[in-house]
Amino acid sequence: MRSINPAIKFVSLLAMTFFLAYRFDPVLNFAVFFLSLVILIASGVGIKRLCLFMIPVLIVAAGMFFTGYRFSAGHSMPVTADAFLVSDSRWWNGLAQAGRVLAYGGLGFVFALTTDRLFLIRSFKDQFHLPQIFVYGLLAAWGIVPHMMQEYKRTRAAFRARGLSVLPVSPALLKPLLIKSVRWSEELAIAMESKGFSGHEKRTDYAPVKVRIRDFFFLAACVALMVAAAFLR
Amino acid sequence: MSIQLDHIHFTYFEDRKDLLPGFSASFSSSEITVLTGASGCGKSTLLYLAAGIYPHGAGILREGTVRVEGEDPAKLTPPRRCALVGMMFQNPELQFCMDTVKNELVFCLENICMDPSDMDGVIDEALEFSGVLHLKERTLISLSGGERQKVMLACLMALRPKWLLLDEPFANIDDRSARTIAAKLKEMNRVYGTGILAVDHRLDNWLEAADTIRVMEDGQLRPEVMTPDSLDPDVLESLGVIVPGHSYRPDIPPVKEGKTVLTLEHLSVHHKNEPVLTDVTAAFKAGHIYAIVGPSGCGKSTLFGALSGIFPYKGKAFLEGKDLKKLKKTDLGKIGFVTQNPQDQFVADTVRDEIMVGLKDKDTAPQVSEQVLRGIRLWRYRDISPYMLSQGQQRRLGVAALMAYDCHMLVCDEPTYAQDRRNTKAIMDGLCSQARERGVALLFSTHDRQLAADYADEIWELKEGSLHAFHQSGH
């Protein structure tokens, strides 16, 4: 899964999410979720890490289950099962809503946890023809993130050392970060230009990201899954 | 083969006088020239003009011409410009935009449209030249400051510009790394004919490499042409340059016996399961001044980060007998931190409030804050944001704000970072005098051994994860 072209993976999984959005089928949703878990574990994603990421998804899924259970068609709701994607069975409706969250969460994690950041951006550049200035600007901005985390800790420590308690997202903490990130972005832009990057000039490509046979197989497998689901369910 | 600047009139703001008022000079590519002078004399501005970054990036070139090998660098596209001039910047953290060393070099070579089949050979050659071939697959964030500057050197080696311009390249790295890089620069100049023009406050790392040392004063080049063997210490000192082997002549009161303020017992800190500090044991007394020295990445900033609560630590740390981890809110101000960048300390919206934060419970706060601000000549700026002050003013405010507390221990992470001699001496004289007079234990880190020898009562070296006392200066 990690070696699948990220742009193709993105398109395939996005198509699946749209397909699921128009289906009201808890069995399908749970099947997609379990398939996603199998793919994640087979791709080497650690169980512990996966469990941690799943916590917020499970909380939202539980919330959606009870929402669906409480507000099913006909139960004091001014809707009918024919007109909306709801069921007149409380359980079925709750499971369908919760399953949808789990299926979306699973597909999202399949993309996020099996895709290399740099590979993704380079693939978008080559397959979607994103502008160079956007691609390399994004990569440079990512490089700043660890510095920002460090600066955030430093700023919190400065407040603590002066006996001031502030909330983790207080504007007083975020203001210095904002000022510094403007300065950093200027320095970074100068450094990139001094290495010959302009964003408008022609460049060579050391390792262009290509679409290979296996990427088409992945796309075809996703389409086949959707077609099978449409006919069987 | 030269950089030629003729009658340069340059300013950053239209309504202010020229920072470079008619500057003219010529630098030859056959030698390594180091340009030095006090902070704000226009050295870095000159370098950015020669690199073609200004006036396109900032400022107004009112008059004059800049020519590098006969071409105006500001009129070239970035790929053509980087074949003419390459730059190494002061901050090694903000020079890269890719994740790994190899990807950064690939990025450079793609920019100059090199044939991809040639890239592997050029990358290996450049990394080998800089002595960092073993770091090829490493992520840039995992490298120390010295290693990053060597990678930057490899990038420049791969790009092969005709001129290399260096803006205080050794400000963030230890002396050993600095001298290794200086030797490589000399090789680039002698073997590959790359012209080198560097700007630096400190000359000691250039003594083996530089051919010519020129001094700038108020935007003009002084007439003296010095070599490392014929440095004129009096001229250099009077112009704010840090002279190798020359004392700062500290102006501070003698030390008095004081009680122990901070005790560290077997302190250890790990980063991602890697030990950075293994066993730090030390005691710091009131009114005493302590310096910590050691190469880049040895753990100085980590130690200070642990004391300020940024990094978790094992072992014990006591501030006046109380566990540092369990300090009450009222005791937090007793240990103050002066950071490398003064902006890291600011907590208030105005200059005056920055001082008032430390005096909020006192009836005399308005009077005391006025007195403090007048003392550091910032009273006229009392209602503006601390971020709008100049770097020197921010440093003065940062120190004064901490001193406004009933501070018993002051920890300073490279307080004289990137300052010229005059500012270095003013900052250290101020800090150390206050520490002596108020009985504050002062702990500072520095790469400048002379500074440590001149100001500290005890010098500690941080190596292999622990502190080793190796010198008593006898103040």
Which has more pLDDT, B161 or B241? B161
Residue-wise pLDDT tens digits, B295-311: 777 888 889 888 888 88
Q: Tell which of A152, A162, A166, A188 to mutate to test the B interface (max B CBs under 10 Å).
A: A162
Across residues A123-138, what is the average pLDDT? 89
**Which residues on chain A are in Cβ contact (under 8 Å) with B94?**
147, 184, 187-188, 191
Of B111, B119, B357, the CB nearest to A203: B111
**Min Cα separation B232/chain A (Å):** 35
Residue indicated by tokens 């120390």:
B144
Share of residues in chain A with pLDDT > 70 (%)? 93
Is B78–A161 a contact, with Cβ atoms under 8 angstroms apart? no
Q: Looking at the complex, does the CB of residue A171 fall below 8 Å from at least one CB of chain B?
A: no
Contact (CB<8Å) A158/B339: yes
B106 CA: distance to closest CA in chain A (Å): 7
Please give, rounded to a whole number of angstroms, the shortest distance from the CA of B17 to a CA of chain A: 24
**Any B CB within 8 A of A90 CB:** no
Do A187 and B89 lie within an 8 Å CB cutoff?
A: yes
A14 reaches B (C-beta below 8 A): no
pLDDT of residue A233: 66
pLDDT for the residue numbered B475: 47
CA nearest B196: which of B81, B43, B39, B35?
B35
What's the rounded mean pLDDT across residues B179-190? 90
Considering the domain B2-238 in this protein, what is its CATH number? 3.40.50.300
Q: What is the pLDDT of residues B398-453, one digit of tens each?
A: 878 877 777 889 998 888 877 788 878 888 888 888 889 889 999 999 888 889 99
Average pLDDT, integer, range B99-118? 93
B55 touches chain A (CB under 8 A): no
Would the pTM count as exceeding 0.80? Answer: no
Banded model confidence at residue A75, pLDDT cuts 50, 70, 90: low
Give B322 or B389, the one with higher predicted confidence.
B322
Domain pair B2-238 / B260-472, same fold: yes
pLDDT band at A73, cuts 50/70/90?
Answer: low
Is A203 close to B347, i.e. CB distance below 8 A? no
DSSP B100: B
Nearest to A196 among B98, B159, B405 (CB): B159
Element (H, E) at B300: helix B300-308
Is the model's pLDDT at B471 over the cut of 60?
no
pLDDT score at B454: 92
Contact A161 B308 (CB under 8 A): yes
Contact at CB, A158 and B337, closer than 8 angstroms: yes
Separation in Å, CA B160 to CA B28, B101, B122, B303: 17, 17, 10, 39
Question: Which one, of B220, B182, B283, B208, lies nearest residue B25 by Cα?
Answer: B220
Residue B190 — very low, low, confident or very high, per pLDDT cuts 50/70/90? Answer: very high
Per CB-CB distance under 8 Å, the chain B contacts of A201 are 77-79, 111
- The edge-to-edge listing of strands for the beta sheet with B335-338 is B335-338, B409-413, B441-445, B289-293, B458-463, B466-472
Q: Which residue of B has its CA nearest to A180?
A: B343
| Per-residue model confidence as pLDDT tens digits over A12-65 | 999 999 988 888 788 888 999 999 999 999 988 888 999 999 999 999 999 999
pLDDT category at B389 given cuts 50, 70, 90 is confident
User: CB of B148 within 8 Å of any CB in chain A?
Assistant: no
- CB neighbour class for B198 (10 Å; exposed up to 12, middle 13-18, buried from 19): buried
Q: Is the pLDDT of residue B43 over 80?
A: yes
Residue of A nearest to B78 (CA): A196
- Across chain A, where does the E strand assignment appear? none
Asked whether residue A72 carries a pLDDT value surpassing 80, the answer given is no
Give alpha helix (H) positions in B162-228. 175-192
- More confident call, A39 vs A143: A39
The 10s digit of each residue's pLDDT in B174-184 is: 778 888 889 98
Q: Which of A143, A163, A203 sits opposite B329 (nearest CB)?
A: A163
**Nearest residue of A to residue B309, measured between CA atoms:** A157
Asked if the C-beta of A126 comes within 8 angstroms of chain B's C-beta atoms, the answer is: no
A151 touches chain B (CB under 8 A): yes
Locate B7 and state its tokens: 């009658």
The answer to whether B355 touches B373, Cβ cutoff 8 Å, is yes
Secondary structure class of B314 (helix, strand, coil) = strand
pLDDT, residue B243, reads 81
Give A69 or A108, the one with higher predicted confidence: A108
| Contact status of A138 with chain B (Cβ, < 8 Å) | no
Chain B hits for A119, Cβ within 8 Å: none
pLDDT at B104: 93
Q: Which residues of A touch B347 (CB under 8 A)?
A: 158-159, 162, 164, 172
The predicted model gives B101-130 an average pLDDT of 93
Nearest to A118 among B94, B99, B111 (CB): B99
Q: Quote the CA–CA distance of B254 and B235 in Å, as a whole number.
A: 29
pLDDT at A26: 84
Mutate to test the interface with B, among A155, A170, A193, A195 (most CBs of B within 10 A): A195
Residue carrying the six token digits 């046979």? A213
Pair type for strands B60-68 and B2-11: antiparallel
Cα separation, B91 vs B168, in Å, equals: 9
Please, what CATH class does the domain formed by B260-472 belong to? alpha beta
Tens of pLDDT along A77-101? 556 656 556 666 778 888 888 999 9
Nearest alpha carbon to residue A37 among A8, A58, A10: A58
Residue B117 has a pLDDT of 94
Which residues in chain A are closer than 8 Å to B333, comparing Cβ atoms?
161-163
Model pLDDT for residues B333-356, shown as the tens digit of each residue:
788 888 777 777 888 888 998 888
Both tokens of B246, joined, read 């020359």
Q: Domain spans of chain B?
A: 2-238, 260-472
pLDDT, tens digit, for every residue of B367-376? 888 888 887 7
With residue B263 as reference, give the H or E element that holds it.
Answer: strand B260-271
- What pLDDT does residue A88 have? 64
Does B332 contact A202 at a Cβ distance shorter than 8 Å?
no
- pLDDT at position A167 is 83
Q: Shortest Cα distance from A119 to chain B (angstroms)?
A: 11
> Which of A68-77, B372-381, B392-401 ranks highest by mean pLDDT?
B372-381
Distance between CA B474 and CA B111 in Å, rounded?
Answer: 56
Q: What is the pLDDT of residues B234-287, one digit of tens each?
A: 888 888 788 878 888 888 888 888 899 999 999 999 877 778 899 999 999 999
How far are the Cα atoms of A28, A61, A75, A101, B314 from residue A64, in angstroms, in the given order?
17, 5, 16, 8, 44
pLDDT at res. A77: 58
